[in-house]
Structure 1
Amino acid sequence: MPPEKETPEQKNEKSNSNEPDSSKETQFWGVERDLKAIGEFIVRFLSRHHRWLSPIFIAGESYGGFRVAKLARQLQQEFGVGLSGAILISPALEFSLLEANDYNLTTWATVLPSLAAAAAHHDRAQWAGQRGDLPAHIAAAEQFARQSLIPMLAMGEAFPEDERQAIYQQLAGLTGIPLSVVERLGGRIRIEVFARELLRDRQRIVGLYDASITAIDPFPDRMTYEGTDPTLDGLDRLFTGAINSHLRQTLGVETDLTYRLLNLETLKAWQFDFKGDWKQGFQGSVDDLRVGMTLNPYMQVSISHGIFDLVTPYFASNHLVSQMKLNSEIRSNLTLKHYPGGHMFYTWAESRQQWFAQMQAFYQNAIA
């Protein structure tokens, strides 16, 4: 049956609604149009405020870090905007590294150091070195991920059984997960399983976005975890209250529109494909960052993570940077620096102060 036509009353009701027209919004729900919208805004802002010759920096967190890496190329190549610096905070650079499965081996290795860091923080790990030496424990997990875990997973059934058991024992020691669970999972520890199993005996779970944070497991007797993430759903009310207060009281924004901290409707409908692009699979942004850095050999790049973030783990960025094959003339322009904390590591007072000092030096260096 053909769709019913809107009555004049329905059209009038929609035009008077406080909510935006979703049909106009959805055209921006995709990688390509989203980036172009940001580029268009930046160009108009620079023109309106006569700032074309000013030092220009872009910064983004999480998916915003993906945007920054893409824009490092697109702003300079398509919009003629020269950048002094690009700041990526807990970025998701290559989405293939966020999808853990039997055939993508790298993901299991890049998340391991963060699992080990969280286990040590909760004193559930067998410390690699002196007890309480977190950097040494993390370094041991990084080495183990590269030299032991990846070869075992890559060889599959062909890997010698006695060596496999030795690796399982090391993995259990680093992550604090029971050996029986590690064996059952074949050394592939999903972050959701880790969050449930690490403190199961205390009926507590750890956060995915900050595994140093714990919460009571509401269903401790069920086989699978059916509660919420304490670092996402548990903090939603705090950040929603803060941003609404900031918008209305500090910035004076007068609107009846609802601010959504996380819009799941947009997330599910987001278009990752590029028009006219024959590539298939997950979107990535590291190639764009590489091109952007070569287009402008003076642009400084900073990538920072929290070591307890399991969603966008710091070691994934370390791994990607090591694969970028940057020319020696520009390699020093890229800085990797990670801090105690989770996805929003700056909520930790000490990490915020250290990051603030790092950013001060970063800006000064970029405009020198």
Structure 2
Amino acid sequence: MNKILSFVFLSCALFSLPSIAEQHNRTIEIDHKITTEHRVEIKGKRINYTATTGTQPVWNEKGEAIATLHYTYYQRKNIKEVSERPLLISFNGGPGSASVWMHIAYTGPRVLKIDDEGYPQQPYGLKDNPYSVLDVADIVYVNPVNTGYSRVLKNAEGKYPSKPEQTKMFFGINADIKYLAEWLNTFIHRNERMLSPKYLIGESYGTTRVAGLAHAMQNKQWLYLNGVILVSPTDIGIKRQGPVKVANRLPYYAAAAWYHKALPTELQSKDLPEVLTEVEAYTIDKYLPALAKGAFISEQEKQSVIKTVAKYSGLNERFVAQNNLDIPTAAFWKELLRDRGRTIGRLDSRYLGIDKRDAGSRPDYWPELTSWLHSFTPAINHYFATELNYKTDVKYNMFGTVHPWDNSDNNVGEQLRLAMAQNPYLHVLTQSGYYDGATNYFDAKYNMWQLDPSGKMRDRLTFKGYRSGHMMYLRHEDLEASNEDLRRFIQNTLPKVGQSALY
């Protein structure tokens, strides 16, 4: 009898408990946050702040939660008028990259323990950022769907949407902008930041994102901005094809060659800005017109261009001639230091790689990316778990599954121009590293020149260059400089008392 009762009791207990699968389903909480208190010294002053990290749902038109986005929100304490306090909304790129890079290496209150040039050092971890812009603006770092801890949610039937359905909802230029604008509206209202001056900052593909978001927030959410910051920008929908695409690489080639002391003595003895001024002028005035002539360029002009491009790129004349004046970036990364048995990085050409063979037309791997993952991955996971007290078994996706990505109808550059035209308060700052070979700095300048063909808003467009790569802030000197440029941009674009938004 006792055995029977025991069996009945055990059976009831088992049926009343969640299944093993339910108990151990590795999912993120859909709407949840944790707030911790901290302090940091910025520019010699102590800043007390709170860090709120958690998740907030993405809603569809039926009011159903279809995804949840993980974010981290830093607020300076003891602010009397929050309505006057700027809010900086930060995105990284990819698409498919978490908002980790600028979070713990650029603008946030904690940054990586790395050397002064940005190379990883063990033990990995974080340290205070004495240059963070948290002294002048609150900051929120947002992870789009499938990046960081952000995830797609199951539908009412308990199933995940199909891959085509997910692409339509999340994974494309315009889908990405649409749902993020809605999400930001909810975040801003939940946190009572409707009256605050607002800024968007995006890095790499994040520049495509924030260029489109500027228009969507103003025209769909009626949330007007004071500034957009484009860090290492993509083409933002501004066409750079044919001879323009080829010619625009040369100033970057010159910068990388100068860094590795591969230029002729007459150029190597000059400082980098002086060299780049010279190369930029040649690119616009001579190289671009020569490329436009194609096969019908005169032999005399062709030989002159071969000689000059070789001089400015650090390559030999034979190599330039063999490529018909058009040197592919992958070939440059392989060729520049081939005689030294090294390749150079794509996102930051200061980094060196070692290939299996010195022969070949492209490097085996990207040394800068592997170097960065050394330090970023352990640091961000440790930071959330130990300092921000955010614990989960869900994997933090440094790079998430977002492909195939729908790149059609990319009009974000025109959308940003229209947003600026509609809003006299809106300014744009571009920040680029001279040694970035993926989104090169001269392309970024070209974007700026072409964004507003009328020239009527050129006084609201600013460019800043740095002696580093795609993530220019990894170099200590540029961490300070880029934050200071961003700080001044925010301060200078806050309207004066009584200044109306009108032309």
Shorter-chain TM range is 0.7 to 0.9
1:255 corresponding residue in structure 2 = 392
Structure of higher CA gyration radius: 2
CA distance in 2, matches of 1:127, 1:346: 29
Once the two structures are superposed, what CA deviation does each residue of 1:20-53 show, in whole Å capped at 9, x if it has no partner?
Answer: 5684454311122211221112111121122211
Choose between structure 1 and 2 for higher RCO, CA contacts under 8 A separated by at least 6 residues.
1
CA distance in 1, matches of 2:315, 2:230: 31
TM-score by length of 2: 0.64
1:272 corresponding residue in structure 2 = 407
CA distance in 2, matches of 1:235, 1:298: 36
Q: What one-letter code is carried by the residue in structure 2 that aligns with 1:259?
A: Y
Residue from 213, 220, 237 that aligns with 2:374: 237
| 1:227/1:328 CA distance change after superposition, 3 Å | closer
Q: Are 2:251 and 2:276, in contact at CA under 8 Å, matched by a contact in 1?
A: yes
Residue from 298, 321, 325 that aligns with 1:183: 321
Q: Greater shift after overlay, 302-311 or 33-42?
A: 33-42
Q: Are 1:219 and 1:225, in contact at CA under 8 Å, matched by a contact in 2?
A: no
Q: Are 1:29 and 1:270, in contact at CA under 8 Å, matched by a contact in 2?
A: yes
CA distance in 1, matches of 2:360, 2:461: 44
CA distance in 2, matches of 1:128, 1:76: 51
Q: What one-letter code is carried by the residue in structure 1 that aligns with 2:26?
A: N
Q: Determine if the alignment matches structure 1 residue 299 to structure 2 residue 441.
A: no
Once the two structures are superposed, what CA deviation does each residue of 1:324-356 show, in whole Å capped at 9, x if it has no partner?
Answer: 336565321111111110000011111111112
1:288 corresponding residue in structure 2 = 415
Q: Greater shift after overlay, 168-177 or 14-23?
A: 14-23
CA distance in 1, matches of 2:250, 2:300: 22
Once the two structures are superposed, what CA deviation does each residue of 1:285-308 show, in whole Å capped at 9, x if it has no partner?
Answer: 221111011010111211110010
Q: Determine if the alignment matches structure 1 residue 142 to structure 2 residue 307.
A: no
2:183 corresponding residue in structure 1 = 41
Q: What one-letter code is carried by the residue in structure 2 that aligns with 1:273?
A: S
Residue from 346, 350, 354 that aligns with 1:216: 354
Q: What one-letter code is carried by the residue in structure 1 that aligns with 2:274?
A: A
1:193 corresponding residue in structure 2 = 331
Q: Are 2:330 and 2:363, in contact at CA under 8 Å, matched by a contact in 1?
A: no
- Secondary structure at the residue paired with 2:493? helix
CA positional deviation for 1:322? 1.6
Query: Which structure shows the bigger proportion of residues in helix conformation?
Result: 1
2:461 corresponding residue in structure 1 = 334
- Secondary structure at the residue paired with 2:457? helix
Q: What one-letter code is carried by the residue in structure 2 that aligns with 1:245?
A: H
CA distance in 2, matches of 1:112, 1:21: 42
1:88 corresponding residue in structure 2 = 230
1:118 corresponding residue in structure 2 = 256
CA positional deviation for 1:173? 0.6
Number of aligned residues: 343
| 1:127/1:171 CA distance change after superposition, 3 Å | farther
Q: Are 2:306 and 2:317, in contact at CA under 8 Å, matched by a contact in 1?
A: yes
Please show how residues 68-79 of structure 1 align to structure 2 within 5 Å.
68-79=210-221
Q: Determine if the alignment matches structure 1 residue 227 to structure 2 residue 364.
A: yes
CA positional deviation for 1:251? 2.2
CA distance in 2, matches of 1:224, 1:337: 33
CA positional deviation for 1:81? 0.4
1:161 corresponding residue in structure 2 = 299
| 1:285/1:14 CA distance change after superposition, 3 Å | farther
Q: What one-letter code is carried by the residue in structure 2 that aligns with 1:37?
A: Y
- Secondary structure at the residue paired with 1:59? strand
Please show how residues 7-86 of structure 1 align to structure 2 within 5 Å.
17-18=25-26, 23-24=160-161, 26=167, 27-86=169-228
2:133 corresponding residue in structure 1 = none
Q: What one-letter code is carried by the residue in structure 1 that aligns with 2:432?
A: H
Q: Are 2:353 and 2:365, in contact at CA under 8 Å, matched by a contact in 1?
A: no
CA distance in 2, matches of 1:184, 1:144: 21
Unaligned runs of 5+ in 2: 1-18, 28-150, 154-159, 496-503
CA RMSD after TM alignment: 2.4
1:279 corresponding residue in structure 2 = none
Once the two structures are superposed, what CA deviation does each residue of 1:77-129 show, in whole Å capped at 9, x if it has no partner?
Answer: 1110010111111111346767xxxx722111122111100101111112565
Query: Which structure shows the bigger proportion of residues in strand conformation?
Result: 2
1:343 corresponding residue in structure 2 = 470
1:280 corresponding residue in structure 2 = none
Q: What one-letter code is carried by the residue in structure 2 that aligns with 1:109?
A: A
Please show how residues 345-360 of structure 1 align to structure 2 within 5 Å.
345-360=472-487
CA positional deviation for 1:241? 1.5
Q: Are 2:207 and 2:236, in contact at CA under 8 Å, matched by a contact in 1?
A: no
CA positional deviation for 1:165? 0.9
Q: Are 2:226 and 2:425, in contact at CA under 8 Å, matched by a contact in 1?
A: yes
1:7 corresponding residue in structure 2 = none
Q: What one-letter code is carried by the residue in structure 2 that aligns with 1:18?
A: R
Q: Are 1:128 and 1:174, in contact at CA under 8 Å, matched by a contact in 2?
A: no
Unaligned runs of 5+ in 1: 1-10, 275-282
CA distance in 2, matches of 1:224, 1:365: 47
| 1:127/1:68 CA distance change after superposition, 3 Å | farther
Identity over aligned residues, as a percent? 30
CA positional deviation for 1:72? 1.5
